Structure 1
Amino acid sequence: MIPHLPLTLDPAAAVRALADALAAGLDPETAPPRTAVPVPAGELLLMPAAAGRYAGVKIAGVAPANPDRGLPRITGGYLLLDGPTLQPLALLDGAALTALRTPAVTALALDRLAAPGARHLVLFGTGPQAYGHLDALLAVRPLERVTVVGRRPGPAEELAAHARARGTAAAVGGPEAVAGADLVVCCTTARTPLFDGRLVAPHAAVAAVGSHEPDAREVDTALVRRSALYAEARSAALREAGDLVAAFAEDGPAPLANLSELVTGAAVVPHDRPRLFKSVGMAWEDLAVAAAQYKSTTGLSAT
């Protein structure tokens, strides 16, 4: 029987796992693309990857109607394999893995893109990813203030209360709060821009993580045009990142650095204009975090 591993890594450990994978030479540009299959309930995603001692595959479901039923929007499972033999090693909860690795990717990027004195986070969204992003960013940045922007006041206030319980001043606000933000994170199901990109201050860093479809976007062309641009991988972003695809269609392509270049220091990080990181989620990230969980559970070394 394949053992089922509980996901016990904290956000800081997940961030380290991703950084270590990239520092070891993983090239996100060569990672296999996800396969997306429409189904009556939404979408099924197949996400395979292999690197070093491990391989793995996530089967994820995206069911947009689930939250109205009191169920998670993201479902699925992860199978971790031994790399040389492809023998199964462990099963992990795919939704929990996604909820951990997506904020860890954002935290890894924003820790490098944030201005040195960044303290004020404006957070769009009130679902599990919003909570995960708050916790992940608190693991890497000394935040002092959080402004939550949500469609419904009740869930927005609940997230603000969670932030206050973590020792950070927090309140509910509107989209215009981006004008005073050091960091802006968008983790919503929006399909059109959430705010006016002209309001974002030149020193601010922005992450848009809510969609992986070329016709959905959380930020507008104005922000893309103003910003230094970063993504997990250029190949994935140009396939799936509607925030960039739509802006490039309107305004022409722009230079785009990937996460590996950001982590290794090869990417330039200016501080005279906004920095925008767009993620769509990639299979290598699931593998890196799942392998770190396996090594932590079994006591194996990181090599």
Structure 2
Amino acid sequence: MKVLLDAKPTVHQAIEALRTALAGGLDPDADPARSVVPVPAGQLLLMPASWGGFTGVKVASVAPGNAERGLPRIQGHYLLLDEPTLSPLAVLDGVAITSVRTAAVSAVAAAALAEPEASRLVVFGTGPQAHSHVAALRAVRPVRDLVVVGRDPARTQAFVAQYAELSARAGTPADVADADLVACCTTARAPLFDGAALPEHATVVAVGSHEPEAREVDDTTVARSTVVVEAIAAGLREAGDVVQAVRSGALAEEDLVPLADLVCGRAVPGPGPRLFKSVGMSWEDLVVAAATYRAAVGT
């Protein structure tokens, strides 16, 4: 077994691997449900999957208090195994895989949903996922202008300073009115902006939560949008943005569009804004871990 903690997936590798897997017949609804175990400091997550000759499992911890300690909120490793024999092949950096795969899934969705010339990006959040989403969305759309909305002015300005080539600036939720793309990458539990302000052509990706009682977008955004999810069952189980909108009557379950249907051309977005709600699934980690392993060992 190889220890490949220094092997980091690139966003382009991850986007291509995820798109190829979906186009090749991977069924996200076949994923086992995520196991979430509460512990005093936060949560332990267990995420297994099998596909394409590999089996794997991510073991991750989520410790909300770590930010005050200067430590990562999410930590963990990925164990990759040979599918036929279940022999361990490698241990990889679970945080690196999570960071890249989450944004890469958003990019796969945005490539099918966003206007071809989408250039104005508004990002909510200033953490690792916000950075990953800037990189991933730039990989699929010609982003030239970046607005960053954060809670901490100093962190927001530090984030903005890293993207001078994009005419980046700090902004407010009202900036969604001029956005082509909106990326919600926060730990918010309540909507971040007024969905009535979204332009008709805008595409929103929301990735910050996997709990039924937490959401980043409001009912107005959901009701106006074509709503795409990684998998119907996972969305109805874990995506607060979806669960609460269904509960309020703003969204009908049968109107949800699976990401695989979009990628394979079995569904097309309707008029109005487009929303991709991601909760993060085990198959995504496996596909990206396998691609990282192949690149590292030259297979």
- Place the TM-score, normalised by the shorter chain, in its bin: over 0.9
Between the aligned partners of 2:173 and 2:141, the Cα distance in structure 1 is 22
Q: How does 1:54-69 map to 2 (within 5 A)?
A: 54-69=54-69
Is 1:5–1:90's contact at 8 Å kept on the other side of the alignment? no
Structure 2-normalised TM-score? 0.97
Between the aligned partners of 2:3 and 2:205, the Cα distance in structure 1 is 35
Q: How does 1:110-125 map to 2 (within 5 A)?
A: 110-125=110-125
Which residue of 2 is the match for residue 283 of structure 1?
282
Determine helix, strand or coil for the equivalent of 1:3: strand
2:228 aligned residue (219, 227, 230): 230
Between the aligned partners of 1:168 and 1:85, the Cα distance in structure 2 is 48
The answer as to 2:291 corresponding to 1:298 is no
Between the aligned partners of 1:7 and 1:39, the Cα distance in structure 2 is 30
Between the aligned partners of 2:116 and 2:297, the Cα distance in structure 1 is 37
Is 2:9–2:96's contact at 8 Å kept on the other side of the alignment? no
Determine helix, strand or coil for the equivalent of 1:142: coil
Is 1:119–1:145's contact at 8 Å kept on the other side of the alignment? yes
Between the aligned partners of 1:155 and 1:260, the Cα distance in structure 2 is 36
Deviation, structure 1 residue 125? 0.2
Between the aligned partners of 2:44 and 2:229, the Cα distance in structure 1 is 23
Q: How does 1:1-303 map to 2 (within 5 A)?
A: 2-164=2-164, 167-251=165-249, 252-254=251-253, 255-270=255-270, 272-300=271-299
Deviation, structure 1 residue 4? 2.6
From the superposition, tell whether residues 116 and 139 of structure 1 become closer, same or farther in structure 2 (CA, over 3 Å).
closer
One-letter code aligned to 2:170: V
Determine helix, strand or coil for the equivalent of 1:96: helix
Between the aligned partners of 2:5 and 2:68, the Cα distance in structure 1 is 29
5+ unaligned residues in a row in structure 1: which ranges? Answer: none
Between the aligned partners of 2:76 and 2:170, the Cα distance in structure 1 is 32
One-letter code aligned to 1:67: A
Tell me the alpha carbon deviations over residues 155-212 of structure 1, each in whole angstroms, 9 at most, x when there is no partner.
1111111122xx2111000000001100001010000000111110110000110000
Tell me the alpha carbon deviations over residues 257-295 of structure 1, each in whole angstroms, 9 at most, x when there is no partner.
11111111111123x300000000000000000000111
Is 1:107–1:137's contact at 8 Å kept on the other side of the alignment? yes
Is 2:82–2:89's contact at 8 Å kept on the other side of the alignment? yes
Between the aligned partners of 2:7 and 2:158, the Cα distance in structure 1 is 24
Between the aligned partners of 1:269 and 1:214, the Cα distance in structure 2 is 25
Deviation, structure 1 residue 12? 1.0
The RMSD of aligned alpha carbons is: 1.0
Deviation, structure 1 residue 2? 3.9
Is 1:5–1:294's contact at 8 Å kept on the other side of the alignment? no
Structure 1-normalised TM-score? 0.96
Tell me the alpha carbon deviations over residues 4-30 of structure 1, each in whole angstroms, 9 at most, x when there is no partner.
342333111110010111111100111
Is 2:18–2:288's contact at 8 Å kept on the other side of the alignment? yes
Between the aligned partners of 2:103 and 2:202, the Cα distance in structure 1 is 18
Determine helix, strand or coil for the equivalent of 1:92: strand
Between the aligned partners of 2:3 and 2:206, the Cα distance in structure 1 is 35
Identical residues among aligned pairs (%): 56
Is 1:12–1:140's contact at 8 Å kept on the other side of the alignment? no
Determine helix, strand or coil for the equivalent of 2:205: strand
Determine helix, strand or coil for the equivalent of 1:7: coil
Between the aligned partners of 1:161 and 1:219, the Cα distance in structure 2 is 27
Is 1:7–1:97's contact at 8 Å kept on the other side of the alignment? no
Deviation, structure 1 residue 33? 0.9
Between the aligned partners of 1:5 and 1:194, the Cα distance in structure 2 is 35
Kindly tell me the number of residue pairs found equivalent between the two proteins.
Answer: 297
One-letter code aligned to 2:142: P
Determine helix, strand or coil for the equivalent of 1:75: strand
